[in-house]
Structure formats: C-alpha cells, structure tokens
C-alpha cells in the first residue's frame, strides 16, 4: 500500500491483512481518509459501518477503519477488474465455499450445551 504498510499473517490458503500503519506518505493517508468520508455519504453500507465505528471507537479510529474497508474494496475491484456496481452485485450473491469459525452453515437455533450422550 502506498500510504501505509499493512501487516499480514497467513494460515494455509487464507491470508489476513492487519491494521494500517502510520508508515508511508502522511498526505496520501490524509487524502485517502477524506475520500472515504465522501464515499460513505454515497454508500449506505460504508455509512453504517462508519457510524457504528464512530460510536464504538471515536472519530479517528472510525475514519481509519472505514478507509481500510474502502481500500479492501478498491483492491478487490482492481484485482478482479470490475466496476463498483459489479462489486455490489457480487456481495449480494450467496458465498461459495466452507463456512468459517462462528458462522454455521445451517440455522442451529439457540445455543445448547454439548453433552456426550445421544438421546
């Protein structure tokens, strides 16, 4: 990333990028967060995310978190060579592949204690 390095950790086929750092061009970082605020006005999902983080973490962290989210979207759009409408359409499609921790592949209902007996 040109305005800040992102740490990453890998596990198998999945790669996790970490937080944005303050390394890199501070002017570009500033412009990126400003662009994020304008994008949040146009995109309802980004707006909801920004306001949720604003309440939880405060203005500075909310801006950076939303900028990171926008950066990930931009990276996916560049990687897949798609426009924003196609990106939004793909997000509405059901995801393929295995479920991840905390995301059951079926509606399991309320949580129940797991016991060794089968009744």
What are 54-95's pLDDT values in tens digits?
A: 999 999 899 989 999 998 999 999 999 999 889 888 888 776
Widest CA span in the chain: 64
Q: What is the pLDDT of residues 98-116, one digit of tens each?
A: 555 555 555 555 555 556 5
Using the structure block, give the residue that is written with the tokens 């309320």: 110
Say whether pLDDT at 96 is over 70: no
Return the structure tokens found at 59. 């203005």
Kindly provide the residue ranges of all beta strands, DSSP E only, lying in 3-65, ordered along the sequence. Answer: 6-11, 14-20
Query: How far, in Å, CA of 20 to CA of 65, rounded?
Result: 9
Contacts of 110 (CB under 8 A, 6+ apart): none
Please, which pLDDT band fits residue 5 given cuts at 50, 70 and 90?
very low
Query: How far, in Å, CA of 100 to CA of 90, rounded?
Result: 19
Say whether pLDDT at 9 is over 60: no
The confidence score (pLDDT) of residue 78 equals: 93
Q: What is the pLDDT of residues 20-54, one digit of tens each?
A: 677 888 898 889 889 999 999 999 999 999 999 99
Q: What is the pTM of this model?
A: 0.61
Helix axes 84-92, 59-80, angle to 10 degrees: 100
Short-list 107, 104, 79, 73, CA closest to 91: 73
Return the structure tokens found at 52. 């949720």
């Amino acid at each position: 990333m040109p305005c800040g390095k992102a740490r990453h950790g890998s596990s198998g086929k999945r790669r996790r990028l970490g937080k944005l750092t303050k390394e890199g061009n501070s002017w570009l970082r500033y412009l990126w967060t400003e662009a994020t605020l304008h994008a949040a006005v146009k995109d309802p999902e980004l707006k909801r995310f920004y306001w949720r983080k604003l309440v939880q973490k405060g203005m500075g962290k909310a801006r950076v978190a939303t900028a990171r989210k926008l950066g990930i979207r931009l990276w996916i759009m560049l990687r897949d060579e798609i426009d924003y409408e196609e990106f939004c359409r793909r997000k509405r499609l059901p995801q393929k592949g295995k479920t991840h921790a905390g995301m059951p592949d079926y509606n399991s209902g309320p949580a129940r204690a797991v016991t060794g007996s089968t009744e």
